[in-house]
Structure 1
Amino acid sequence: MRPPELDESALTPSQREVFARIRSGPRGLVQGPLRVWLHSPELADAAQALGAFCRYGTSLGQDLSELAIITVGAWWRAGFEWHVHAPLAIAAGIPEAAVEAIRVGHSPSLERHHALVHRATQEMMESRDWSDATYAALLAELGLAGTVELTGIIGYYGLICMTINGFRVPVPEGVPEPFPGRTPSQTTAR
């Protein structure tokens, strides 16, 4: 990991306050990119609040949210994110075979509404926009608020993945890297 390891015994008052807020929230843990963000407590506080909404507060079901999250994680090849969210996607009802297909960059076999969210997430990341057909399909399936919230999930988890990759946040010790064969600049430190 690139930044100095976060020393919980040496947190500033501002860092302690944000750390406690994260720990007492729905996550219950302060791990991965949240530990990096705590080097800037103001960023950590704002980002964790947005993240709590994106993960727990949108109108999308957990299945659609987790599907979008793992699609972003696989696109960025962010091992820590994948390690956390792939099991959550499976628990939320995304077929294990589809999760594996996403991990290795293949097209997953998914139900219509799941396929739409996966395709829209991929399309936004790859082309930085949605085609008119994709946008219309999202509005019909998710409504305007759901489409806006999906955009927020894609953007927030892009930030998460950039933090993981830029600061080389490793998967937990003893856990295999889900994206083997990454270039040296993309490998996580152990």
Structure 2
Amino acid sequence: MSHSEQIQPTASMNTGMSGAERMPALSTESMDAAQRAAAQELIDGPRGAVFGPFIPLLRSPDLMSRLQKVGEYIRFHSALETRINEFVMLIVSRQWTQQFEWRMHYPLALKAGVAEDVLTALGEGRRPLGMREDEQIAYDVCEELARTHGVSDFTYQQAVAQFGERGVIDMLGLVGYFSTVSMIMNVARTPPMSSSYLPPLAAYPA
């Protein structure tokens, strides 16, 4: 596979965002040396391609290089169980109405063991019923962070008891990372891949 084939444009479709994509994939020929190096670093890593948030991020290759290393840790080396990791990614995606990340991580969350009914409720902007105990704690951390910009002593104590201090920090890092890439893609109007069977997220309920 050539370098240019590993820089994957996203398909044009109804994404729930108004207006055309602002920062489409760059051609290899249009990149400067720093952009080509940053793209190759991503291609050589576990992701294997430049896609999703890295398409707009490539406009700032030094930022992309640093940020993608955080994302690599969050995705592949976190102290959190994969099921919780994927669930938190979807909570943040729902909070930001981030279409690419929702469609990418929904099947991964199902595969990791999150119940479909839980994800359906989450997608509709409702507190899901039937969450496992650790999922409820993760949901409460994310919900309180979004609503109050902090967490209560009760929620903090539950989170530390369930996930440990390292797990709590990794969860907060996960929320911060996915909030960052969600903001970037929402501003860049990065569409999701059209192969997903999921409909676009509706605007977050008021």
Other-structure match for 2:136 = 115
Give, in angstroms, the shift of residue 13 of structure 1: 1.5
Q: Is the 8 A contact 1:68 1:117 kept in 2?
A: yes
Q: Distance in 2 between matches of 1:78 and 1:6?
A: 22
Letter in 2 for 1:178: P
Alignment check: 8 A CA contact 1:79 1:177 kept: no
4+ runs of 1 displaced by more than 4 Å? Answer: 174-177
Normalised to the residue count of structure 2, the TM-score between the two structures is 0.83
Given that residues 39 and 58 in structure 2 are in contact (C-alpha distance below 8 angstroms), is that contact kept between their aligned partners in structure 1? yes
Of the candidates 3, 19, 22, which is equivalent to residue 2 of structure 1?
A: 22
RMSD: 1.5
Larger RCO of the pair (alpha carbons < 8 Å, separation 6+):
2
Aligned match of 1:91? 111
| Partner in structure 2 of residue 31 of structure 1 | 51
Q: 1:166-181 alignment to 2 at 5 Å? A: 166-173=187-194, 175=196, 177-180=199-202
Identify which range, 24-33 or 152-161, moves more after superposition: 24-33
More helix by share: 1
Tell me the SS of whatever aligns to 1:180: coil
| 1:71 equivalenced with 2:91 (yes/no) | yes
Q: Kindly provide the amino acid, as one letter, of the partner of residue 94 in structure 1.
A: V
Does 2:55 match 1:58? no
Match of 1:19 in 2: 39
Distance in structure 2 (CA, Å) of the matches to 1:60 and 1:174: 29
Letter in 2 for 1:67: F
Structure 2: how far apart are the matches of 1:181 and 1:128?
21
Per-residue deviation, 1:9:
3.1
- State the 1:28 CA deviation: 1.6
Following the alignment from structure 2 to structure 1, what is the Cα–Cα distance between the partners of residues 110 and 47? 18
How far the C-alpha of 1:4 sits from its partner, in A, is 5.0
The offset of 1:118, in angstroms, is: 1.4
How has the CA–CA distance of structure 1 residues 138 and 28 changed in structure 2, closer, same or farther, with 3 Å as cutoff?
A: same
**Equivalent residue in structure 1 for 2:153, among 132, 145, 149:** 132
Gaps of 5+ in 2: 1-20
Structure 1: runs of 5 or more not aligned: 183-190
1:178 is displaced (CA, Å) by 2.0
1:161 and 1:172 map into 2 onto residues whose CA distance is: 15
Look up the equivalent residue of 1:2 and give its one-letter code: R
Q: CA deviation at 1:16?
A: 1.2
The alpha carbon displacement at 1:177 in A equals 4.6
- 1:96 CA displacement: 1.1
| One-letter amino acid of the counterpart of residue 92, structure 2 | V
TM normalised by structure 1 equals: 0.90
In 2, the alpha carbon distance for the partners of 1:141 and 1:30 equals 35
Question: d(CA) in 2 for partners of 1:42 and 1:106?
Answer: 38
Distance 1:164 1:88 in 2: 20
CA distance in 2, matches of 1:149, 1:155: 10
